[in-house]
A = this chain, B = another copy of it.
């Protein structure tokens, strides 16, 4: 069996840093993103154009984009919550925008104060404008594998929201295990249910319960070819203080290469980039590669 090429998307500068208590300087963010781009990564989520009141750690999104020396072949994206955020992101010159919502009603309510239906209406506008501006659009669907308020989320609901996102023009939907509760059989089950749109899906795992690598394996076995990671495993979990964050991109890449999958990434360089963030945050990060 020959292995498909796996696309690894780096979300550390956004999903990672937004959940760190320390605020990293704009200069260090830019330096980090440039270092990450030098590892061969082709997709880097740079920041978020969400209100600085919500995410103070990413209040400098505009400045990060302005200061960044971009590398050819790398897609630099940013999270946008609405038309206003999109406008700012377009002005900053993003290559791709990422919209987001939850698969569970309560998490949508608590996180963005909207029902699922209201969220879909707003995202549709944003996606339409982004598409008119010829931007790629990624959609994050969170709490796919479990919601901190509702517990299990119906697969039918996940499938139906994903369908809606794809129909409005979203190019790829990243299914997020927001609270790190996914397990491999569930991953396989959900992927099976969504087999018809598999090439448009990415998996986004948090290692809260130590199952990220098992869930990646389940995803690979189901045929998924795009996975998210955060260099260093930064980020933590807003619902479990002290818990581990995103799967460390370097641990993900190590696993893929060990299994014979090709990626665009140079593992040694990526580990060095993770080390830079470990020095910057001045704390031990959850990454395994950093401990070898």
Report the separation of the CA atoms of residues A214 and B243 in the bound assembly, to the nearest whole angstrom: 19
- Judged by a CB distance under 8 angstroms, whether A222 is at the interface is no
- Judged by a CB distance under 8 angstroms, whether A26 is at the interface is no
- Judged by a CB distance under 8 angstroms, whether A67 is at the interface is no
- Judged by a CB distance under 8 angstroms, whether A149 is at the interface is no
Instruction: Determine how many copies of this chain the complex contains.
Output: 2
Report the separation of the CA atoms of residues A183 and B288 in the bound assembly, to the nearest whole angstrom: 14
CB under 8 Å from chain B, chain A span 54-103: none
Which residue from B183, B217, B243, B260 sits with its C-beta under 8 Å from A259?
A: B183
A288 B184 Cβ-Cβ under 8 A: no
A216-B214, A291-B240, A291-B243 are contacts. A254–B209 as well, Cβ < 8 Å?
Answer: yes
- Judged by a CB distance under 8 angstroms, whether A45 is at the interface is no
B291 A183 Cβ-Cβ under 8 A: no
B residues less than 8 Å from A213 (CB atoms): 210-214
B251 A209 Cβ-Cβ under 8 A: yes
Give the distance to chain B from A247, nearest Cβ to Cβ, in Å: 8
- Judged by a CB distance under 8 angstroms, whether A218 is at the interface is yes
With an 8 Å Cβ cutoff, the count of chain A residues facing the other chain is 29
Please, which residue of chain B has its CB at the minimum distance from the CB of A251? B210
Report the separation of the CA atoms of residues A251 and B208 in the bound assembly, to the nearest whole angstrom: 11
Give the distance to chain B from A91, nearest Cβ to Cβ, in Å: 39
Binary interface profile of A, 192-216, with partner B (CB < 8 Å = 1, else 0)?
Answer: 0000000000000001111111101
Give the distance to chain B from A268, nearest Cβ to Cβ, in Å: 15
B255 A211 Cβ-Cβ under 8 A: yes
B residues less than 8 Å from A208 (CB atoms): 288, 292
Kindly list the 5 A-B residue pairs having the minimum CB-CB distance in the complex, ordered from nearest: A210-B288, A213-B214, A183-B258, A214-B217, A210-B251
